[in-house]
Amino acid sequence: IVFVVGMIRGNESLINMLLTAISLAVAAIPEGLPAIVTITLALGTTRMAKLNALVRRLPAVETLGSTDIIASDKTGTLTQNKMTVEKLVVGGEVRDAKTGAGANDASDEGVLATLLMLNNDTKLTADGLIGGPTETALVQYNMDHGVDAMPFLNAHPRQAEIPFDSERKLMTTVNKMSDNGDLWVTVKGAPDELLKRVTQIQLNGQVTVLTDVLREQLLTINHQLAVQALRVLAFAYRPVADVPTEMTSDLVEQNLIFAGFVGMIDPERPEVAGAVAEAKSAGIRPLMITGDHADTAKAIAVRLGIIAEDDDAGVITGAQLDELSDADFEKKVRQYSVYARVAPEHKVRIVNAWQKQGKVVAMTGDGVNDAPALKAADIGVGMGITGTEVSKGASDMVLADDNFSTIVVAVREGRKVFANIQKAIQYLLSANLGEVLTLFVMTMMGWQILAPVHILWINLVTDTFPAIALGLEPAEKNIMKQKPRGRASNFLSGGVFGNIIYQGLLEGGLTLLVYWLALTFPVHAGATQIHADALTMAFATLGLIQLFHAFNSKSIHSSIFTKQLFKNRAFNWAILTAFILLAATILVPGFNTLFHVTTLDWFQWLIVIGAGVTMILIVEVVKLIQRLRKSAA
């Protein structure tokens, strides 16, 4: 259009109009935007890596900023994954583990301690105990009570086993107990599951029938320990003459003798409660997923601030979840914040239910069976320390420290990256719109238009440098006080598109106003000199307004007059460099000839600078009105 109109008016030659049209096309297309977005995302991943969040897929940085739900495993992520035995329950009595007995003792406590050693996959090495934190804690308890672990295990070799699985929540071994060939079936697992298979109890050195009254008493004790945030394991055994021919749960894990409970503590990570509070203030809902008893899960969730103490309805078990259809669960999913006694396959249902509510879900996982849930989630979060290679491969981000608070830090960084990309887009597109508007109106009005070299220089110098620097802006103070932007959001959401339009029109309007003022109130005489001055002032104004506007773009809605105005050193240097390069085209002899500009006097410079200041003031007023409307709403 500009080319055709310019040729019709006949004010410019064919070559000049062609070059102008091409230059305008270059100015209209934000060719630097893909590079700026990529650079900003890459810098975000670098910063996250320093904070122990290793991003495996670049777009995940931006997605993190829109997270609505963080579904986290309890053990090792919300807690320290450092188990210690705190309580023993034998004969229906709760005892302090420090005063307990080891596996060498003939008491009821000694029988329980023996099972702690035998039903255990911990490896004893020269470097210490190798195994899961729960099982190493059981061996450590015995070692603390004088048991020499290696000779004891060598004297009671394992003959057979049924490995633990998350369905039955039990593990069984068969161990040799003496040189006479005596064998014990040993079973450990979830108290509620194991007590279903127990018929007798070890009591005061004797084996007696487990009455219903005593069974209820044990369940009550289990609840009391669980609400103290203790993880409770039950242990039972049964003497057998021979190794069972079929090692199945139905044949082996029956008619057992109850030996006792062990209550273990896995302390919460001290920084997690603060991270949970920060997530909630950011409108993010944290969920806890665990294989622990519901009472234990709730107690820890309350201590971390995930749910309120009176929120019993916020806890659901895997068994209860199995009773709900997908449709029913989708209707009730907002009710639950704690998932207890769940299996890995339940995680997929949790992810799907929240996604159907339109939420962006981050899910943690460390096992092979967690891979489907990590793939289904918008952000799959693997564990760098305890995670399997399969779970890491299925994840979008890996936590080098397995820490929940690192997820929240990554979300904050993701929000910052998204906000900075928005700032760069708003700055670039509004600047490009201002350039296009200026040339279009000049052409339609029959005025002399900016030369191609003016457009390209502005596009190169005052567009690119500040836009890249905006990608390095520090996070705004209220960034974690804002609600998640939602699944449907994009870089033009949140008022950015409207800002681009009015700010682009404002840039072009101010430039045209300065051009008109230069023509109407000339400083020099002669038509040629007057038009040369007007074009120079329009060129300087368009470039300088964009540099002033770069400061506007440091925040989409907040005022720029804060302590952070000059905090971004890269931005400061970018503005200074761009200003020097822009001023050099007018002030440095030789350059002004190359760029077809004239030397301006102080009054003309005052008008140019005044236009730049006006740009800041008008945008600040609009931002104020936007904030007032938002607060009123």
**Domains, the chain, with CATH or none:** 2-52+408-632 (1.20.1110.10), 67-80+269-402 (3.40.50.1000), 84-265 (3.40.1110.10)
| Residue reference for tokens 């300065």 | 514
Q: Average pLDDT of 418-440?
A: 89
Using an 8 Å Cβ cutoff, are 76 and 386 in contact?
yes
User: In 221-304, where do the E strands start and end?
Assistant: 230-240, 256-265, 285-289
| Catalytic positions, written as ranges | 73
Tell which phi-psi region holds residue 151, choosing left (phi > 0), alpha (psi between -120 and 50) or beta.
alpha
d(CA 480, CA 284): 10
Instruction: Count CA atoms within 13 Å of residue 505 on its CB side.
Output: 6
Question: Which pair of tokens denotes residue 453?
Answer: 């070299």
Question: Which pair of tokens denotes residue 345?
Answer: 């396959």
What integer best gives the mean pLDDT of the chain?
89
Using an 8 Å Cβ cutoff, are 67 and 359 in contact?
no
Strand 285-289 to 206-209 pairing? unpaired
**Stretch (H or E) spanning 363:** strand 361-365
DSSP-assigned letter for residue 79: B
d(CA 229, CA 293): 10
Question: Which pair of tokens denotes residue 503?
Answer: 């700010």
Instruction: Count CA atoms within 13 Å of residue 180 on its CB side.
Output: 5
Residue 438 pLDDT: 84
Please determine, for residue 256, whether its predicted confidence score (pLDDT) is greater than 70.
yes
**Residue 358: Cβ within 10 Å count:** 10
Q: Give percent of the chain above pLDDT 90.
A: 59
**CB contact set of 565 (below 8 Å; sequence gap of 6+):** 551, 554
Residue 59 pLDDT: 85
Q: What residues does 79 pair with on adjacent strands?
A: 268
Using an 8 Å Cβ cutoff, are 301 and 338 in contact?
yes
| Residue reference for tokens 């995680």 | 347
Task: With CA atoms as reference, report the closest residue to 595 among 415, 461, 396, 406.
Answer: 461
Using an 8 Å Cβ cutoff, are 217 and 223 in contact?
no
∠473-478-480 over CA atoms, to 5°?
A: 95
Using an 8 Å Cβ cutoff, are 253 and 170 in contact?
yes
Most confident of 152-161, 555-564, 622-631: 152-161
Q: What residues does 29 pair with on adjacent strands?
A: none
Using an 8 Å Cβ cutoff, are 141 and 116 in contact?
yes
Task: With CA atoms as reference, report the closest residue to 533 among 589, 463, 604.
Answer: 604
Please determine, for residue 8, whether its predicted confidence score (pLDDT) is greater than 70.
no
d(CA 581, CA 49): 36
Residue 633 pLDDT: 67
- The model's pTM: 0.82
| Helix/strand/coil for 86 | strand
Residue 488 pLDDT: 80
Residue 30 pLDDT: 76
Q: What residues does 75 pair with on adjacent strands?
A: none
Q: Which residue has the higher pLDDT, 443 or 627?
A: 627
**Residue 301: Cβ within 10 Å count:** 27
Range in 356-370, 457-471, 609-623 with the lowest mean pLDDT? 457-471
CA 583, 586, 591, 596: dihedral to nearest 10 degrees? 140
**CB contact set of 45 (below 8 Å; sequence gap of 6+):** 55, 58, 61
Residue 494 pLDDT: 84
* pLDDT tens-place string over residues 145-201: 999 999 999 999 999 999 998 788 999 999 999 888 899 999 999 999 999 999 999
Give the number of residues written for the chain.
633
